[in-house]
Amino acid sequence: MKSSVFLIAFLVTLVALSGCIGQGESGDRIVMTNYRGGEVTVYVELAETPDEVTIGLMHRESLDEDAGMLFIFEDEDFRYFWMKNTLIPLDMIFIDSTLTIVDIKKDVQPCEADPCPLYPSADIAMYVLEVNAGFSEKNGIGIGDKVEILS
């Protein structure tokens, strides 16, 4: 198991945390250091409210290479995500309350069937980071990697 530590830095005020940002333009920034020592920056939109979590990345036709969405839950539980009305393939990175990556669903394709399949986390999670498909593979992100959130 990799022992890399991912550094997640939120560099805006608490007021800005409740707002959404454009695709990779400004706002909350996650800086990750992979097991090879390289840094990766992802500009994230936060999904904190039930409505924001429900809508997620639905109806987006594209997502910048350095952009993503961080889903924040109030508790730790098994998480079930789907790709309903999501138009772009994604990697789903599940993170538990100890800030350890517990699962990654790679290259999840847009839903073309009804009902859409569910993608459950392999373990309990408190956060989910959605990024473009292939992101985790390209950047060496793996299960067991640690995440540190600084505010």
* Percent of the chain predicted with pLDDT > 70: 72
Rg (CA), the chain: 14
Q: Which of 111, 13, 9 is nearest to 70 (CA)?
A: 9
Residue 53 clears pLDDT 70, i.e. is over it: yes
Which of the two residues, 148 and 63, has the higher pLDDT score? 63
Give Cα 44 to chain centroid, integer Å.
8
Q: Which of 79, 83, 66, 75 is nearest to 28 (CA)?
A: 66
Residue 143 clears pLDDT 80, i.e. is over it: yes
Residue 3 clears pLDDT 50, i.e. is over it: no
Q: What is the pTM of this model?
A: 0.79
pLDDT band at residue 31 using 50, 70 and 90 as cut-offs: low
Instruction: Measure the CA–CA gap between 144 and 65, rounded to whole angstroms.
Output: 24
Q: Which of 149, 96, 85, 105 is nearest to 125 (CA)?
A: 96
pLDDT of residue 38: 63
| Domain ranges, residue 84 | 5-150
Residue 35 clears pLDDT 70, i.e. is over it: no
Looking at the structure of the chain, the number of domains it has is: 1
Instruction: Measure the CA–CA gap between 53 and 149, rounded to whole angstroms.
Output: 20
Mean predicted lDDT score pLDDT of the chain? 78
pLDDT of residue 37: 61
CA distances from 114 to 70, 83, 108, 109, 111 (A): 26, 11, 16, 14, 8
Q: Decide: helix, strand or coil at residue 141.
A: coil
| CATH number of the structural domain spanning residue 99 | 2.60.120.1140
Condensed to tens digits (0 to 9), the pLDDT of residues 90-134 reads 999 999 998 888 999 999 999 988 899 999 999 999 999 999 999
